[in-house]
Amino acid sequence: MGTSDKLYIIIPAYNEEANIEKVVCGWHDVVASINSESRLCVIDDGSKDNTLVKLQELQGKYSQLEAITKKNGGHGSTIYFGYKHALENGADYIFQTDSDGQTMPDEISVFWEKRKNYDLQIGHRKGRQDGISRIFVTKILKLVVFLQFGIWSKDANTPFRLMSSESLGEIIQFVPSNHNLTNVLLTVFYHKKGKKIKYRNVTFRPRQGGVNSINFKRIVGIGWKAVQDFANIRRNRRG
């Protein structure tokens, strides 16, 4: 996978001490295989466990790992922070995944090989293994996005996406920095702006360790707020 293009992999982490070392090991191999300028950026979102301590220890072992910490703000604001960090540090391409071990590092290879052909490539979690409640929420989200924005996305919120820095720099300006569903809005505006998008099937395993910090009740709350936020964003863009 060696190339002169600089890749930044952005991974948000909150209370992931059970998973973080294995996740870092797998994804660091990816950036190391590309070139020495690429980086694995794991952003600790104000964890209450030893996630940050472990990340700081791992920096001594993995030379292309950047362990960053910030005040707790949720998944959306954390990946937004990471995207801005990657853009400010000269990344050519930005990839995002999560820290729960549900995605497979080796599946990025086809995304990387085809990077010049698309502005955004998104993993489609076909046959996902993380529970029927999450599958249900994804289907509802798909419907909400269609009703609010007229966009039919296979999987707008997948934490497995590769974006060119040129396109992300343009699109991210339409997304609030503190939105819960940053990736959903990015997907919407990539569609709205006519960018080249490709969905590819990816594996989505059960959580590999630790405890999920978002239960079904919280998912419903986030979803309801998202509906309201989407409506406000749509109105503001028309105004």
Q: How is domain 7-238 classified at the architecture level of CATH?
A: Alpha-Beta Complex (3.90)
Tens-digit pLDDT string for the chain (239 aa): 778 999 999 999 999 999 999 999 999 999 999 999 999 999 999 999 999 999 999 999 999 999 999 999 999 999 999 999 999 999 999 999 999 989 999 999 999 999 999 999 999 987 776 656 666 677 777 888 888 888 889 888 999 999 999 999 999 999 999 888 899 999 999 999 999 999 999 998 876 666 655 555 665 665 666 666 776 777 676 54
Nearest to 105 by CA among 173, 44, 57, 34: 34
Give every CB contact of residue 191 below 8 A, 6+ residues apart in sequence. 149, 151, 153, 197
The gap from C-alpha 38 to its chain's centroid, in whole angstroms, comes to 17
Instruction: Give Rg (Cα) of the chain.
Output: 17
* pLDDT of res. 227: 66
pTM flag (> 0.85):
yes
Q: What string of DSSP letters covers 13-39? A: ESS-TTTHHHHHHHHHHHHHHH-TT-E
* pLDDT of res. 239: 47
Name the packing angle between helices 20-34 and 51-58 (round to 10°): 40
Nearest to 146 by CA among 176, 184, 119: 184
CB 203 within 8 A of CB 104: yes
Nearest to 187 by CA among 204, 171, 202: 171
CA distance 132 to 135: 5
The gap from C-alpha 132 to its chain's centroid, in whole angstroms, comes to 21
CA distance 96 to 163: 9
CB 183 within 8 A of CB 153: no
* pLDDT of res. 208: 63
Neighbours of 36 (CB within 10 A): 10
* pLDDT of res. 149: 86
Structure-token pair, residue 31: 């950036």
* pLDDT of res. 59: 96
What single DSSP character describes residue 111? H
Strands of 90-171 (E only): list them.
93-97, 120-124, 160-164
CA distance 35 to 112: 13
Burial of 56 (0-12, 13-18, 19+ CB in 10 A): middle
